Amino acid sequence: MRKPIIAGNWKMNKTPAEAEQLVTELIPLVKDAKCDVVVCPPYVDLAVVANLLSGTNIKLGSQNIHWAPKGAFTGEVSADMLLAIGVSYAIVGHSERRQYFGETDEFVNKRAKAALEANITPIICVGETLDQREKGVTDTIVSKQTVAALAGIEADEVVKVVIAYEPIWAIGTGKTATADDANTTIKVIRDAIEGVYGKSIAEEIRIQYGGSMKPSNAAELMAMPEIDGGLIGGASLKSEDFAKVVNY
């Protein structure tokens, strides 16, 4: 059985003081969670949050990771830097990185490999735009992104990866794929993994849903057989809302 994983992506929100308040409220609300719990604050909050999470069941994630150990990469952050402050997860290939900052499948693959090499778990995001969905190419897009992101990663490493299916048209819009639609597309992603690594490996990999999961729909989505968790945006910015998703 795959253990569910609920991760909160704070995006560009929360000052260090606000982050401290949020995490302090959150810790007791999710202490008995039956799933893995991760929070991914902005870089400026990581050290503050890391200190607060010590000794708790909540893991710390970053919102990106660079493939080089160091160098002239202004605005980036390396695996060693993240490890030094206790980061154990890293989001890579988020749709906002792809859409606004030119993130390519090649870059996503290099970032994922760097994370794995440092024993940081990459949360690899894949998903289609509204235009792609309306053209009926969702399956092709998510399969291609998944296979490209995992290129060159050996089977014993790929089982450590978390995939997040995030339909771009559902992020921040209030729209949500139906539970059945999300489950169907996640099965397509799992089938793409099976095509490369075989069924047993594909069955081990956890695949989250990342399209506006919130307290009102978390239970329904998590009841689907292919959905192993959520990559939570807006609902992760309020301790009570995020806790309700975690304790779905």
Instruction: Name the residues annotated as catalytic.
Output: 94, 166
Predicted model pTM? 0.96
Q: Could you read off the pLDDT of 6-62 as tens digits, one per residue?
A: 999 999 999 999 999 999 999 999 999 999 999 999 999 999 999 999 999 999 999
Q: Average pLDDT in the 111-136 region?
A: 95
- Determine contact, residues 209/245, Cβ cutoff 8 Å: no
**What DSSP string describes 56-81?**
SSEEEEES---SSSSSS-TT---HHH
Beta bridge partners of 46: none
**pLDDT band, residue 172 (cuts 50/70/90):** low
What pLDDT, on the 0 to 100 scale, is given for residue 76? 97
**List of residues 6+ apart from 169 with CB closer than 8 A:** 128, 129, 130, 133, 175
**List of residues 6+ apart from 157 with CB closer than 8 A:** 116
Mean of the per-residue pLDDT values for the chain? 96
Topology of domain 5-246, per CATH? Answer: TIM Barrel (3.20.20)
Q: Average pLDDT in the 196-219 region?
A: 95
CA distance linking residue 49 with residue 41, whole number of Å: 8
- Determine contact, residues 46/62, Cβ cutoff 8 Å: yes
- Determine contact, residues 218/8, Cβ cutoff 8 Å: no
What pLDDT, on the 0 to 100 scale, is given for residue 189? 98
Q: Could you read off the pLDDT of 50-92 as tens digits, one per residue?
A: 999 999 999 999 999 999 999 999 999 999 999 999 999 999 9
Query: For residue 209, what is the enclosing H or E element?
Result: strand 206-209
CA distance linking residue 71 with residue 83, whole number of Å: 17
pLDDT at 176 exceeding the cut of 90: no
